[in-house]
Amino acid sequence: MAFLRKLFSKISVFLEMIKFEHSVFALPFAYLGLFLAENGWPRWFLLFWVTVAMVSFRTLAMSLNRLIDRSIDALNPRTQNRALPTGKIKALFVWGCALGSLLVFEWSAYRLNSLCFRLSWIPVALAVCYPWTKRFTWFSHWVLGIILGIAPCGAWIASKAALDVIPCFLTIGVTFWVAGFDIIYALQDLEFDRQFKLYSFPARFGVSASLVMTEIMHGGAVIAWLVAGWLAGLGLVFLVGILGVTACLVRENWLIRTGGMSKIQEAFFIMNGIASIGLFVAVWLDLIVRGTRP
């Protein structure tokens, strides 16, 4: 019993460290690609394995990010209380979780179809490379965007065993959206990044340019999603949903412009969570209204 309590305690610390609950940012966009490819509610087999693939991949990516950045996190006042720098959890345990997540992700890709399995090295390679990018390029925000952005394409391939232009525009939208809110998030570490010569858009170009770039990225995201919806033949329900998503993104940018980092919790977590779930629900409802099977 003591062993189990200790194990459960480690798992709890690990899940908090990787912010497991933030899977809500990624899953809706994978489901977008899947529901559009299936023209409605997907087959349960696909829904299950796409979900497993997304959760296991995000766990892998976050584990690698925390492991590779643990020496930097130990120096940053904002992150020095994380589990690895403080020793609440050992690096070996996290490496084990990363390996386990990789195996689950590869198995889920294999179960989906052969093309998913053959392409599975791409997101894995991106997950390995991303934590290092902040050491040499401020383009790191867009690398993170691509990592989350390929979710609709992956889900589409899981359904069709082929790619199409529709999920590609979803991917462009997610990439822009993530890059935008990651630039906002990086504002917290602007001085630290400059002091330790780490690369981020805010550290390189400053606060004003970062806020403008975020607005450009979020505007581009909305346009890309509108194109995807138009190509997919979506209608009024989808357009209403896009208006709601746009309102969330406008409020996110307004909160940071007017309230600064004191509003980061609402701007980053609440607005982005509502935007991702809201867009998925809008697409799903539009597919139902259009007469597809529920």
Please give the Cα distance from 121 to 116 (Å, whole number): 9
Q: Which residue, among 171, 135, 148, 137, has the nearest Cα to 36 in the 3D structure?
A: 171
Q: What is the chain's pLDDT, residue by residue, as a tens digit (294 residues)? A: 666 666 667 777 777 777 766 666 678 989 999 999 999 999 999 999 999 999 999 999 999 999 999 999 999 999 999 989 999 999 999 999 999 999 999 999 999 999 999 999 999 999 999 999 999 999 999 999 999 999 999 999 999 999 999 999 999 999 999 999 999 999 999 999 999 999 999 999 999 999 999 999 999 999 999 999 999 999 999 999 999 999 999 998 898 888 777 777 766 677 888 888 999 999 999 999 987 544
**DSSP secondary-structure letter at 42?**
P
- Residue 264 resides in a domain: yes
Q: How many domains are there within the chain?
A: 1
Return the pLDDT at 130. Answer: 96
Return the pLDDT at 293. Answer: 42
Residue range(s) defining the domain that contains residue 277: 8-289
- Residue 3 resides in a domain: no
- Residue 206 resides in a domain: yes
- Residue 2 resides in a domain: no
- Residue 213 resides in a domain: yes
- CATH number of the domain enclosing 258: 1.10.357.140
Return the pLDDT at 161. Answer: 96
Contacts 24+ apart (CB under 8 A), 106-112: 108/49, 108/50, 108/52, 108/53, 108/56, 109/53, 111/49, 112/46, 112/49, 112/50, 112/53, 112/157, 112/158
Question: Distance from CA of residue 161 to its chain's centroid?
Answer: 23
- Residue 294 resides in a domain: no
Helix locations, the chain, DSSP H: 2-17, 27-38, 44-68, 70-75, 83-86, 91-112, 114-119, 121-133, 140-149, 151-160, 165-186, 190-195, 201-205, 207-231, 236-259, 264, 271-289
